[in-house]
Structure 1
Amino acid sequence: MEPLQVDIVHFYPRENAQPHNTMKYEVVNDENPTTTIVRRGQPFNGVVRFNRPYDEATDIVQLVFSIGDRPSMDTMGKMFIRRDAAPDKHAWSANLLDLPEPNTLSFNVSSPVTAAVGAWALRVVTWQRGSQERTYYDFDQDIYILFNPWIPDDQTYMEDTALLQEYVLNDVGKVWVGPVKTTRGKPWMYGQFDAVVLPACMFMLDRADVPFNQRGDPVKMTRAISRIVNSNDDGGVLVGRWDGQYEDGTAPSDWTGSVDILAQFLETQDSVPYGQCWVFAGVVTAVCRALGIPSRVVSNLVSAHDANSTLTVDKYYSETMEELGYDPSNAEPEQTDSIWNYHVWNDVWMARPDLTAGYGGWQAIDATPQETSKGVYQCGPAPLEAIKQGVIGMNYDVEFMLASVNADLMRWRIDPSEETGYSMVDSNTYHIGRMVLTKKPYVFDPNGDGDREDITEQYKYREGTASERLALMNGVRVSERAKRYYAVASNLQNDVTFNLRDVDTVPIGKDFRVTVDIENTSNEGRNIKASLSTTSVFYNGVRAGVIKKVEGKMFVGANKKEQISILVKSDDYLPKLVEYCNIKISAMAIVEETKQSWADDDDFQIIKPNISIKFNEDLIIGQPGVALLSFTNPLDQTLTGCEFRLTSSGIAGRTLKLSPSDVAPLEPVSVEIPIQPSKLGKINFVATFKSVELKDINGAASAEVFEG
């Protein structure tokens, strides 16, 4: 008898998607889907039709799954379709289910729970028992096998599987941005189910030469993702830029989500300009969730960048308390410690069989290129438990992450009378890592912060508690360099107290006042030299320009109180603001009689309006509708070069842009954007607005789409 010839192979993309939690992928919902998306370690069904009836006694059917161009033992699965094939979680198997028609057999395939994640190819080989003649059939459709956090044997398994609705299946989120007092949730569309995302992920992993036999290990995969979402080493997804010059690309604040970035990367096969930390983090979460790794975006408010591994952030001042913009103790002065208003990275969830017990669960990874790790710009996965306990020997980059959330801020003054050449001004144990925030599961609050979750205690013990000091000192004890810095932090004798008052929220266009209260608690008068300045800063702490500065000498009598203050008018700061409107207040003082010195600073963000998104009627699937976007120009100047951008994964075209005419001072602006809903149920919208004079205006909304 002639060998079996394969006529057709079919994998029921939609029916398999249901038990595999992959129903949301757009390609599975095409009219006639051809792409199969399943999760590893779990059976999926298929059918094969032959040119003649299948004879169980003499016909042999072998399935050969492979990934990559040079498959090996780890990246290939060979199995015979046979009855009662016992599924084994570490091996491939194919079980013959029944013969619905004489020429057809239906079967299910189980992949190992450690299978490499990505696009697998399938070859069907048929022959007859005792014959050497083989017939080959190559299946020409995509079969994606993903991580499976729903099953206990997968390394990404999350015990509370309800949380996977948020950390794998939710395609919209929030990123908390801005200084502590004025932080706000910026809405972001991850869009991990968009048709372009999985192909973009495959291109990204290939571009970075991630070996196929490592693509089943979430530790290696997330470390690689942290490297290839930035373009510093290997033509990765996004080019980072922080100087406000974005004319030859897209400004970081204009992006509304990850899909447009991944689509541009895949289409141009070139790194996309430009990203900043929350853009990197938004793309990382889209990629991780698309591949099945639970992920969340994390914002650390007041984040340290410890450039010299001292577990401190050091600020230096001259003898007369002028701030130096560099680190005189560092061999490379341009490598200075810095404090970012906020910094955004990601947590990913997995077991850590490569470490001692107790370090599984959330792991921090950071795709923003700040420091190299093993020679390239990658960071993590660092177990949150190791960061919290100060165990800096753990893989990977725990020391860097520990400093980010828990370094002490130390201020030093050049002092020739000291052996080291510096005296300590003060040491602040509370300043760094004020709050670590993420989006609360199951909630999306388009207009407020009802979806904000404080996870600081997952990263460190409460500030000032014995456990928090102990965890930091654990790290210090292991680092020779850090030990020297902490040894100097002795108690300083101070008899004049200074207090920099908090600035209340300042809406854009309004004036504000900065005040320092001074109290002399000694029985003698004190001469004090003080300076007070306001500076416009980028969110990573880099100064853009001085807005207003006062300095002078004052006498404070015994047991008396005084204050110095400056009024900053909108005309002073508006021309000097840079993106995101962050302002830093710096205050410094030195007491002539005792050489006591003091410095403090504070950051806040000028508040801007939000975009309101409304719909003039019910949204019906497939029917044209209108989104009404509006806000009021808060400036007493005309806005020119205006553009609104509206994104939703539930509308045709995904991202729509509209450029209204100039907006008069203090006047409302509103535009009508035609939309056509393409999905039923609740869909989310994210909007941004930019103009020459006013940027980074955001808004979000949720709406219900009904049947016609």
Structure 2
Amino acid sequence: SASTNWHLKENTRDHHTSKFSSKELIVRRGQAFVVTFSGIEQPEQNLTFIAETGPKPSKQAKTQATFGISSTVSKENWSAVLQSTSSNSASIAISSPANAVIGRYKLSVQSTSSGSSSPATLGTFVLLFNPWSSGDDVFMSNKAECEEYVLEEFGIIFSGNTHHINSFGWNFGQFQGDILNICLSMLDRSLNYRQDPATDVSHRNDPKYLGRVLSAMVNGNDDQGVVLGNWSGNYEGGKSPSSWTGSGEILQNWKKSGFKPVRYGQCWVFAAVLTTVLRCLGIPTRTITNFSSAHDADGNLRVDEFYDASGNHLERGADSVWNFHVWNESWFSRSDLGPSYSGWQILDATPQEESGGIYQCGPASRNAIKEGDVELDYDCPFVFAEVNADRMYWNYDPATGKKTLIFSKTTTIGQFISTKAVGRDDRVDVTSDYKYEEGSRKERDIFKKARKKLGLEDKFDPTAPTPKEIEQKPDISGKFKVAGPLEVGKDLNLILVLANLQSDVKSVHVNMTAWSTVYTRRPVREIWKDSISLYAILLPVIGCKGEENSTSLSTSPFQEVVESSDIAYQPSPLQSRQPKYPQPILVGDALQPFYQLNFPPSYIFKDLN
């Protein structure tokens, strides 16, 4: 029988696979590797090699290749070029095409001159994507980016909210012990493989196919995938999503449990595990964090939020806005769409909405998202809404079923879209790669284009606000400003700043509620509420210190707010005295008059936003 030398050190160095700690040869497609075998008589005579993968190898499905010795490497097919021979051994450079199916291969050789009918097995090797090869769909010309997005085992993930961006480290660990085998197991446990193994394996040459399949396999929905999501706050029977620090432990646990979903994950866990798996297979991948991320459940590119008269958030409809959401970008060409849509592709393993009947998302071309080409595969409308949806705030009366638009915002969704810098731990803002400048004419035109492509412009939508409602300017605006530092476990000091946007004096009744929430902004429970009536207001300020079951206040922050807001105040000739600032109202004190300021509302708090 033949004995084989796989030249592990030299081959893995040449193929950028030396970080794998495997005794099995791991190489990349579209590039030659050298193998020496002995035990075959007259090795230079009429050798035929067979490389095959999957449960039913076939030439038609490109999961089996038979090839002899040739004088030069073939770019389109598998080939073998003789390097050297001795009396009973031969060194051969074997090359696969740049679009070969990836996975574990068996390599056999047959010497037709010896008259032997059965081939001798040389062993197995694993073939991966090759971002260093110009013929590969995942080719990346920037070598520093290849290093970061394929070979880097540690990363930074961003979280928090638009006012305060946090970052934390993650160990992707794509080269650890058994991770490659676990990644290959994920492919063999997918719904596609279970339904038709041979066809599934034949598609494993295509990064867009594998990206989509793996976006489904990373979550435990539908297919007994890797991680079970849990946003309830109760993590009994598993680990809190925030306690994980790396993907290795999660993937190992999945295998050890007999491939039962690991409990529990939230968006950054799904994204980090998908980063590990795709980098392991050789597809350049990074994590992306989107702040104020829309979850548009009904596909109308609008997020509708409902509140009752007391200011309580109502659970009506499935739309929501998350403080942040983490997904992936992978780098590959889109031959199905055309060259302008190649490059970064969005994949999302968090189970938010079904696509094609299961929880998977992408690949959506980032260029298609920016240009509003939402009709293109895959899941572009959902991703477009995550970064572009308009936000509608409705007042809903449960007694009558009537809803009134309070106001709408077109510029708050999709902010500070972030990823780790190449070779550094800094944050890089990629918002401008997802959309044109917020509020610009171009950005609005793209939004209208997307709505038109989805047939939303022409279709009558009884839930949509009327143009009159959208254009109607509010009479009063209100905003809580944080006074002093924000510290976990300490009292929170808030100032409610109200501004009268009309020229007449009015009485106002203010209802205030505070709820604890999770990062998806799902309310957990009410922790405080109060109400107050004010009259004759143009520029009042209420201060309140909110802690569960307590409300109190210290000195008036009003002077400080005005001074820090850069207002040039000039008293009008009609005013005989300088305005005085009233003592702050203790929350709960009703009907205490505020000092009336009679200068034009246009001076009011012009840059408090």
- State the TM-score, normalizing by the size of structure 1: 0.72
Match of 2:529 among 530, 549, 552: 549
Match of 2:141 among 145, 159, 178: 159
Q: CA deviation at 1:503?
A: 5.9
Conservation of the 8 A alpha-carbon contact between 1:126 and 1:135: no
- For 1:222 and 1:78, the matched residues in 2 are separated by 25
Q: Which position in structure 1 is the counterpart of 2:347?
A: 365
SS of 1:26 mapped into structure 2: coil
Conservation of the 8 A alpha-carbon contact between 2:287 and 2:327: yes
Conservation of the 8 A alpha-carbon contact between 2:527 and 2:549: no
For residues 268-293 of structure 1, what are the alpha-carbon distances to aligned partners after superposition, in whole Å with 9 as ceiling and x for unaligned? 22211111100000100000000000
| Paired residues for 1:277-356 under 5 Å | 277-318=267-308, 320=309, 322-327=311-316, 335-356=317-338
SS of 2:119 mapped into structure 1: strand
Q: CA deviation at 1:389?
A: 1.3
- For 2:122 and 2:520, the matched residues in 1 are separated by 50
SS of 2:531 mapped into structure 1: strand
Out of 471-480 and 335-344, give the one that drifted further: 471-480
- For 1:433 and 1:503, the matched residues in 2 are separated by 26
Q: CA deviation at 1:157?
A: 0.7
Q: Which position in structure 2 is the counterpart of 1:463?
A: 438
Q: CA deviation at 1:173?
A: 0.3
Q: Which position in structure 1 is the counterpart of 2:51?
A: 65
Match of 1:242 among 211, 218, 231: 231
- For 2:371 and 2:37, the matched residues in 1 are separated by 55
Q: CA deviation at 1:317?
A: 2.9
- For 2:209 and 2:65, the matched residues in 1 are separated by 25
For residues 141-164 of structure 1, what are the alpha-carbon distances to aligned partners after superposition, in whole Å with 9 as ceiling and x for unaligned? x41100001111100111222211
Instruction: Specify which structure has the higher proportion of strand.
Output: 1
SS of 1:150 mapped into structure 2: coil
Q: Which position in structure 2 is the counterpart of 1:82?
A: 69
SS of 1:18 mapped into structure 2: helix
SS of 2:340 mapped into structure 1: coil
Conservation of the 8 A alpha-carbon contact between 1:191 and 1:259: yes
For residues 375-407 of structure 1, what are the alpha-carbon distances to aligned partners after superposition, in whole Å with 9 as ceiling and x for unaligned? 110000001111111111010011000110111
1:19 to 2:14 alignment: yes
- For 1:261 and 1:395, the matched residues in 2 are separated by 30
SS of 1:463 mapped into structure 2: coil
| Paired residues for 1:272-671 under 5 Å | 272-318=262-308, 320=309, 322-327=311-316, 335-414=317-396, 421-444=402-425, 451-481=426-456, 484=461, 485=464, 487-488=466-467, 490-502=470-482, 505-557=485-537, 560-569=538-547
SS of 2:362 mapped into structure 1: coil
Conservation of the 8 A alpha-carbon contact between 1:172 and 1:191: yes
| Paired residues for 1:115-264 under 5 Å | 115-128=100-113, 131=115, 133-140=116-123, 142-208=124-190, 209-210=192-193, 211-264=200-253
Partner amino acid, structure 2, of 1:172: F
Conservation of the 8 A alpha-carbon contact between 1:81 and 1:96: no
Conservation of the 8 A alpha-carbon contact between 1:501 and 1:515: yes
For residues 525-544 of structure 1, what are the alpha-carbon distances to aligned partners after superposition, in whole Å with 9 as ceiling and x for unaligned? 21112122222111111111
SS of 1:514 mapped into structure 2: strand
- For 2:70 and 2:343, the matched residues in 1 are separated by 39
Partner amino acid, structure 2, of 1:120: Y
Q: CA deviation at 1:128?
A: 1.4
- State the TM-score, normalizing by the size of structure 2: 0.84
After superposition, the Cα gap between the structure-2 partners of 1:525 and 1:395, relative to the gap in structure 1 and judged at 3 Å, is same
Conservation of the 8 A alpha-carbon contact between 1:118 and 1:146: yes
Conservation of the 8 A alpha-carbon contact between 2:38 and 2:90: yes
- For 1:155 and 1:571, the matched residues in 2 are separated by 59
Give % identity.
Answer: 34
After superposition, the Cα gap between the structure-2 partners of 1:572 and 1:383, relative to the gap in structure 1 and judged at 3 Å, is farther
- For 1:218 and 1:366, the matched residues in 2 are separated by 15
Match of 1:111 among 80, 96, 99: 96
Q: CA deviation at 1:264?
A: 1.2
SS of 1:490 mapped into structure 2: helix
Q: CA deviation at 1:79?
A: 3.7
SS of 2:65 mapped into structure 1: strand
Total equivalences in the alignment: 536
- For 1:572 and 1:261, the matched residues in 2 are separated by 42
After superposition, the Cα gap between the structure-2 partners of 1:415 and 1:479, relative to the gap in structure 1 and judged at 3 Å, is farther
- For 1:565 and 1:231, the matched residues in 2 are separated by 47
- For 1:539 and 1:400, the matched residues in 2 are separated by 19
Match of 2:35 among 40, 43, 46: 46
Q: Which position in structure 2 is the counterpart of 1:266?
A: 255
Conservation of the 8 A alpha-carbon contact between 1:547 and 1:572: no
Partner amino acid, structure 2, of 1:119: R
For residues 569-599 of structure 1, what are the alpha-carbon distances to aligned partners after superposition, in whole Å with 9 as ceiling and x for unaligned? 48979xxxxxxxxxxxxxxxxxxxxxxxxxx
After superposition, the Cα gap between the structure-2 partners of 1:194 and 1:527, relative to the gap in structure 1 and judged at 3 Å, is same
- For 1:505 and 1:177, the matched residues in 2 are separated by 20
Q: CA deviation at 1:81?
A: 4.2
SS of 1:168 mapped into structure 2: helix
Q: Which position in structure 2 is the counterpart of 1:666?
A: none
- For 2:170 and 2:212, the matched residues in 1 are separated by 23
SS of 1:547 mapped into structure 2: strand
SS of 1:25 mapped into structure 2: coil
Q: Which position in structure 2 is the counterpart of 1:669?
A: none
Conservation of the 8 A alpha-carbon contact between 2:108 and 2:119: yes
Q: CA deviation at 1:474?
A: 1.1
Q: CA deviation at 1:482?
A: 6.4
- For 2:238 and 2:527, the matched residues in 1 are separated by 29
For residues 157-183 of structure 1, what are the alpha-carbon distances to aligned partners after superposition, in whole Å with 9 as ceiling and x for unaligned? 112222111010100001101112222
- For 1:285 and 1:486, the matched residues in 2 are separated by 40
- For 1:354 and 1:80, the matched residues in 2 are separated by 30
- For 1:428 and 1:137, the matched residues in 2 are separated by 69
Conservation of the 8 A alpha-carbon contact between 1:196 and 1:262: no
Partner amino acid, structure 2, of 1:459: Y
- For 2:296 and 2:542, the matched residues in 1 are separated by 33
Conservation of the 8 A alpha-carbon contact between 1:236 and 1:271: yes
Gap runs ≥5 in structure 1: 1-5, 28-33, 328-334, 445-450, 574-708
Partner amino acid, structure 1, of 2:9: R
1:102 to 2:87 alignment: yes
SS of 1:204 mapped into structure 2: helix
SS of 1:347 mapped into structure 2: strand
